Structure 1
Amino acid sequence: MTEDELFYLLALQRVEGVGDVMAKKLITHCGSADAVFSTKSAQLAAIDGVGSMLLKNIKDKTVFDKATAELQFINHNNIKVAYFQDVDYPERLKQCIDGPLLLFSSGAIDLKNRKIISIVGTRQITSYGIDFCRKFMEDLAPLDPVIVSGFAYGVDIVAHQLAIELNLQTIGVVAHGLNQIYPKTHKKYVAKVEENGGFMTEFWSSSNPDKENFVRRNRIVAGMSEATIVIESADRGGSLITANMANDYNRDVFAVPGRVTDKYSQGCNNLIKTQKANVLTSAADLVYILNWEVQKQVKPVQKQLFVTLDDDEQLVYDYLLRTGKEVMDIIALHCDFPIYRISGLLLNMELKGLVRPLPGKLFEAI
């Protein structure tokens, strides 16, 4: 995208009454953002949804002054910009009709051929949520997923911190321009996040973290991810909005169950009860539902020197030691486990470095 093209895209964003859906419609009809401003009103009026007020607003020249100012900010601060048709625009977000026309980012984000999941939840995360999040991400780390969250208090910042600790790429999707950080107390994490990924937003530098921006932010979190994981949530909250958006985008949603008496498990339990989310009890559940191929993982799994197996894992491991290698269905049959259970056991054992998958759905003990 040239600077000239970006200028007109920015100007189009500042036309009152033009949102992301209308902007894409205008560009598709006219051929480019530049052409929108030079197309005759009679032709624009033929586009569904374009009325007299919008035609008047498109002719408002003050949008060019605003575009000039924002372009200067982008250039002076080394902000990266992705147009919704660009190759570096999140692939899944392209599928969302209301996905942002432009995405602004900082850091070293690389989404090419990556597994992307979002982790969201309450701002009042409990020790239960922290412990689950840590175990979940540690077990998932060998698959090298990109961790997306909203850089807010609670579950968000815990997910970002754990991603950094585990050397996973992490992206903070923020509800304001990239000239500021909210909450301010999280400024201490900015450098590490940008080293391990970065920040992303649809908002201009003139945008503050206003309440309505957080809902708009949530659709990016949900739309760019293969799955959304809700760690903990009360019966209301932004994470439930994100989960509902993910469902609307036909994405997988997972929720961590909790005790019915726990305030910050009510939202998750309701998502599961109303069949809006899969039950998430371990990393194996997500890998199984998403059908991720463990043998294609990026990071090698190191066998631990001292490994603790539960009784079910020991049974499977002993069987594979005797047989050498076997297909999953036969392992399940001889060990008397359903397929979904044996799949989870084998994944956990692979992450522990005890078994490895082979072509043809075979597994062998290491």
Structure 2
Amino acid sequence: MTDTELLNTLALLRVEGVGDIVAKRLINHCGSAEAVFKAKKSQILAIEGIGEILYNNLKNTHVFTLAEAEMKFIATSGIKPLFYLEPNYPERLKHCIDGPVLLFSSGTINLENRKTISIVGTRQMTSYGSDLCRKLIEDLAPLDPVIISGFAYGVDIHAHIIAMEQNLQTIGVVAHGLNQVYPKVHKKYVAKMEENGGFLTEFWSISNPDKENFVRRNRIVAGLSEATVIIESADRGGSLITANIANDYNRDVFAVPGRVTDKYSMGCNNLIKSQRASLLTDAADLIYMLNWQLEEKKDKPIQKQLFVMLEPEEQKVYDYLQKKGKELMDIIALECEMPIFRLSSLLLTMELKGVIRPLPGKLFEAI
């Protein structure tokens, strides 16, 4: 993106009455943000939903003064602007009608051809949520997913920390400009996150972490990923907003169930009860629903370990696959007389032990 294009795009986003949807409509019709400002009145008024008031607002040159100030910040901070029509813009977010026209990025983010999940939840996380969040990310680590969250207290920062411990790329989507850190106590994690991942925001350097910004931030969290996981949530909260947005984007949503008497399981239980989320008990549930496969790395091939210790149920499944060859999960469950949810967990464990491998079409075979 050239400096001229960036300046005009920033200015357009400062025009009163222009949000992401309207800005995209204007740019798509005129060809660029610069062309929008140069367009004739008849051309602008021919665009659906655009009237005299907005046309007159486009004549306000003060928006360029604001844009120039932000350009100076971007140039001196090392922040990378991501434009929605360019290849470096997150692909999944391109498919969201209200996705930001511009994102600002710091760190070493790479989302190209990557498995991505968002993990969110309450800021008052319990030990139950903490333990399950850790096990989920640790069990997913061999698939090398990108872990996305909101860098807030509770589930968010916990997910980022565990991802870093597992050497996974992790991205914090923040509700303010990248000239500040919020919460300030999380500043100690910034450098480490930017080494393998980093931060994304749509907000300018003049933006503070105001309450309304967090709702806007949530649509980016939902839009970036293949699926959103809610670890714990009360009956109201930002994570439920993220779940609803993910549903609107036709993305998978998973929720961890809890006791009906637990305050911070009420939101998750309600999502599952109303069929707005799939029940999640372990990583195998997510892997099965998203049809993720454990990819063998060419430099580190996964080999069957000698003398692997298998639990009795694992041995039963392994013996069946050795005798039968590749088979569908549903048939394995039927023949081995165990429920799907239990089998899916066993298959993941056995895959990590290197004794079976998944095949396309939800087939499995012994190695």
- Report the TM range for the smaller structure's normalisation: over 0.9
Q: Tell me how far 1:359 sits from its aligned partner.
A: 7.4
Which position in structure 2 is the counterpart of 1:335?
A: 336
Computed over aligned residues only, the root mean square deviation of the Cα atoms, in angstroms, reads 2.1
CA contact (8 A) 1:228 1:246 kept: yes
Quote the offset at 1:82 in angstroms.
0.8
> What secondary structure sits across from 1:147 in the alignment?
strand
Deviations 1:92-113 (A, max 9, x none): 1101110000000000000010
Report what 1:36 is aligned to.
Answer: 36
Partner residue in 1 for 2:21: 21
Matches within 5 A, 1:1-366: 1-295=1-295, 309-320=310-321, 323=323, 325-328=325-328, 331-337=332-338, 341-357=342-358, 361-365=363-367
How far is the alpha carbon of 1:262 from its aligned partner? 0.7
TM-score (norm 2): 0.93
What is the letter of the counterpart of residue 9 of structure 2?
Answer: L
User: How far has the Cα of 1:272 moved from its partner?
Assistant: 0.2
Indicate the larger mover: 287-296 or 182-191. Answer: 287-296
Provide the C-alpha distance between the structure 2 equivalents of 1:243 and 1:306, rounded to a whole number of angstroms. 44
Distance 1:359 1:10 in 2: 45
SS of structure 2 residue aligned to 1:104 = strand
- Return the offset for 1:294: 2.4
Residue deviations 1:265-297, cap 9 Å, x none?
000000000000000001000011111122467
Contact 1:324 1:364 in 2 (8 A): no
C-alpha distance in 1, partners of 2:111/2:359?
28
Q: Distance in 2 between matches of 1:287 and 1:121?
A: 20
- Give the drift of 1:43: 1.9
Residues 196/301 of structure 1: CA separation in 2 closer, same or farther (3 Å cut): farther
* TM-score, length of structure 1 as denominator length: 0.94
Contact 2:304/2:354, CA 8 A, preserved across alignment: yes
Equivalent residues of 2:356, 2:364 under 8 A apart: no
Are the counterparts in 2 of residues 116 and 227 from structure 1 also a CA contact under 8 Å? yes
User: In 1, Cα distance between the equivalents of 2:306 and 2:108?
Assistant: 35
- Give, as a single letter, the amino acid of the residue that structure 2 aligns with 1:244: N
Sequence identity percentage = 69
Q: 1:353 to 1:30 in 2, by over 3 A?
A: same
Separation (CA, whole Å) in 1 of partners of 2:182 and 2:163: 19
Contact 2:143 2:293 in 1 (8 A): no
AA partner of residue 365 (structure 2): F
Q: 1:180/1:301 Cα in 2 relative to 1: closer, same or farther (>3 Å)?
A: farther
Contact conserved, 1:117 with 1:225, CA < 8 A, in 2? Answer: yes
Report the alpha carbon displacement of residue 314 of structure 1 after superposing the two structures with TM: 3.2
> Which deviations, in whole Å up to 9, do the C-alpha atoms of 1:166-216 show, x marking residues without a partner?
000000000000000100110011011101200000000010000000000
Quote how far apart the aligned CAs of 1:52 are.
2.1
Q: Which moved more, 1:348-357 or 1:202-211?
A: 348-357
